[in-house]
Every structure is written in structure tokens, then in C-alpha cells.
A and B are shown apart, each in its own frame.
Chain A
Amino acid sequence: MKSTKILCIAALLAIGTPTAGTALAAETFEVDAAHSSVVFRAKHLGVSYAYGRFNDISGSFSFDDATLDIEIKTDSIDTNSKDRDKHLKGPDFFNVKQFPVAKFSAKEFTKRGDNVYKVTGDMAFHGVTKSLDVTLERVGSGEDPWGGYRSGFEVIFNFKRSDFGMTYGTKGLGDDIRVMVSVEGVRK
């Protein structure tokens, strides 16, 4: 009888402490597009940097599971010039009808320091997929005013667009592209 009582109390304690179970589960965050940015820059005519951004970003990440999947709609490119955006969306550059999405999928996280990770993953862009190493800085985590929990990071990396088959006009618009990704995620 005594042992049955102890078992019941133990079971009630287990049921009554769900946070203990949650704390062990991996935290996965969904990208909050309104508070995330993908900005890029390319050298223009060798004299300055022209900046642009993508307005449609989605995906998820988890530092516990070491996963990171980011997807960008190439049609959402915005360089503050209607004519330039039209040109960039066409067959000379992004060819957004044929390649509507650019993706990055992490394969490996390596901790490099406080809140700094080396992330190795595959970047699929303009129909070509290549392995890429980027440095990820975890910016912070915390509760938001609406009862949710958020976490964010920033990644800055460079690549050559010609490596991904985007070869048009590299003399006028530089081949080296710097991409700055700032992501805020809401815990699922």
C-alpha cells in the first residue's frame, strides 16, 4: 500500500512538471521574416558598393540540434531601382522564373567561441549547389512581450557569383558578393 502511494506521488510529480521535460527537448525557431534581413552588396564599376536585399525569407533553425535551413524567394529582390530589379530578375542575372528559390542548409556546427560557430552547409543558388563555410554569431535569446521566446543570429559571408553560373557583366557588377544575413526566430 505504501509503495503504491509512493508510485502515485511520483507519477503526479512527473505529470505536474512539464517544464522539466521541455527543457530537455531541442529548441527550434521559426524565422520571423518581419525581423530578419538578407542584405547583399556588389562592387559597381569598381568604384563603389551597390546594396540590395531580399524581402522574402523563411526557414527554421535550432542551436540544440545544429540545424539551419534558410530559404529566400529570389523574386523578392529589392535594390531601390525598379529598372535594375527588373534586369536582375531576368535571364542576365537571377532568372527568377527558372530559379525561384535560393537555399542554405547547414550540415555541421562547430563551436568556435562564445556564441560563435563555424557552420558548414550547402548553398543552392542559381541552379548550382556548393558547400560553403560561414561564421555564425549568435546575437541573443529572450522572451518577447507577447509571451513567446526568441533567438537570433547574424552571418556574413562572401562568394563569387560566377561559381554559381551567374557570369553576366562581371566587369560592371563585381563577381564578389558579400551577403549579410540577420535572422530572428520565434520558438515553435
Chain B
Amino acid sequence: MFTIGSILMVTALPAAVTMTVLLVARATRSSKRSEPCTAALAALSVAAGYGVAHVVRHGWPALDSWAQWESWQWLLWFVVAAAALASFRPSKPLWTWTLWLLRIILVSGGLTISLRPYWQHTWDPAAAARWIACLTGAFCLYWFLLDALLEKTPAASSTLSVLIVALGTGIALVLTGSQRLAELAINLGSITAVLSVMCLRNEPRPLAKGIFAVAPVILGGLWLTGCFYSETKALTIGLLAAAPFAAWIWNLPPVSRLGPAALTTVRLVAVLAVVLVAVVPLILAFTPDPYAGY
């Protein structure tokens, strides 16, 4: 059940924290305005907005029972780790390889922790190793493709694509059993919305890089939790994950001749169409029930 207070907490609070952190960091930084530096600040501001909203809404997980934390509780720390990784400046090949090595460690470690009940009680060791290896490979490939997408498309349409996917994820999660996960997705949506607006003013590409350094971890973690701990179907998650790549439609000849504004609109409509394919069946399948949230 969403009240006005809870809606503000999952929308206005993370957006306000993100904007404040980014503006303060920009105002106080003394060094040159290099792109990696700004991208790292943007990633930090995303993590701060998400983290504050997470803790204020869902509380601080008790440190004495960390072994029993649920996968959505771990997500907070994975986001912090992803923001820390964003401070790497992959200007040299060695740094790029190091960054990817650390990302692989983050993803495989995160999957191992998040899927603990499965490898403890459901899977045998070989099956657990296969699952974690396959999911790590798939997730890292996805992250790589998102980075490539960011290079190929303008920053504004990339960030707005993340916003559409985050909101679609929220709708999918609330309709498949978890309001809490939906709230976390909407946290990301509101953060992305405010950064998309800031992208219109200045430094759009570093801001987009900052979002793309953290958003895959939040979305991936929510999709994983929805699939393994709630009732979100793999097909829904696959469509949501594929949606940002619909922005590549600009490569098609009739579209590529459009002006920048029209092109951005076409890209976003394409992303929205894939998200709607994922969530509309869930909306149609939703049957009114006397139960309304609690």
C-alpha cells in the first residue's frame, strides 16, 4: 500500500539527496573538470541517493545477523561497491582490465551472497557453480553491452532509457509479489529522472557514465531478487533487460535521417515499447482482489 508519505520517501528523497550530493561535490571540487572525475561524482551521488532512501525506508540491517541478510539488503552494499569502482579512470588499458576484473569479482561475489539459500539448500555444489558462473558471465556481458550502448547513443536518451526501464521494473515487481523491491526500483527511477534533467544543462556524458556505473547493479540485483525470491518471470526480466538496446534503432536508415530531437523521441518510444511488452501482460493478468497491499 503506497501512501503519500511513502511515495515521497521513494521518489523525492533519493532525488533530493542525489542532486544535493552532486551539486555540493561540483561546487567544492578543486581539481580540473575532467570527465572521469565527474562520472565518479555522479556515481557517488547515485549511490548516496539510493543508500539514504534504502536506509530511511527499510532501516539499517542489524550487523549481528549479517549472515541472515536478505538479498535486497545486500544490494545497498553492492551499490556502494559499484560507486567505488566508478572512481577508477580507465584511461589506460591496464586500468580497463583492472576495472573489469573488479567488476567480475563484484558480480560473482554478489551473486554468491544473494543466492546463498539456493546453494545451501537447493543446488548441489556443481549446479551452484554452474549457476553462479553462467549468471556472472551473462551479467558482465550485459554490463559491457550497456557501456557500449552509452558510447553509441547520446547521454540524454541513455539516461532516459534507464529511467523507463527502472519504472517498468517497479511495475513488474509490484505486480509479481514485492512492493519493497518495487520501491527500490522507483528509487533508481527518481534518481535517474533528476540526473536526466541535469544532463540537459551541462556535462551530460559524465553524468550518464555515472548512472551507468551503478544502475546495472541496482537493476540486476532487483531482477535477480524478483526472479529467485519473488514471482517475477524470467521472460519479463529478459524483456526489461533488453529494452535499453531498443535505442539502437537509430541505426536503421529511415530513422537515422531524423533530427536530434525526433531521433531521441524515436529511441525512447522504442525502449518504452519493449518495456510495455514486458509489463502490459502483467497489468492485464492483474485481477482486482479485496486485498489491497497489506
A residues whose Cβ falls under 8 Å from a Cβ of B: 44-45, 81-84, 86-87, 89-92, 95, 97-100, 127-128, 165, 167-169, 172-173
Contacts and interface: CB of A to CB of B under 8 A. Distances in A.
27 contacts: A44-B294, A82-B289, A83-B291, A86-B177, A87-B291, A90-B178, A90-B229, A91-B71, A91-B180, A91-B225, A91-B229, A92-B180, A95-B229, A97-B117, A97-B118, A97-B228, A98-B117, A99-B117, A100-B117, A127-B68, A128-B65, A165-B62, A165-B68, A167-B58, A167-B59, A169-B293, A172-B1
Contact of A87 (B58, B62, B177): B177
Contact of B291 (A81, A90, A95, A98): A81
Interface in B51-71: 58-59, 62, 65, 68, 70-71
Contacts of A169: 1, 179, 293-294
Given A91-B70, A172-B1, A45 B229 contact: no
The 4 A-B pairs with the shortest beta carbon distances in the complex, nearest first, are A127-B68, A172-B294, A90-B177, A84-B291
A168 B225 CA distance: 16
B229 A98 contact: yes
A187 to B, nearest CB: 32
B289 A83 contact: yes
A91 B230 CA distance: 7
B184 to A, nearest CB: 10
Nearest to B289: A83
Contacts of B118: 97
Given A44-B294, A83-B289, A91-B178, 16 more contacts: A83-B291, A86-B177, A87-B177, A87-B291, A91-B177, A95-B70, A95-B229, A97-B118, A98-B70, A127-B70, A167-B58, A168-B180, A169-B1, A169-B293, A169-B294, A172-B294
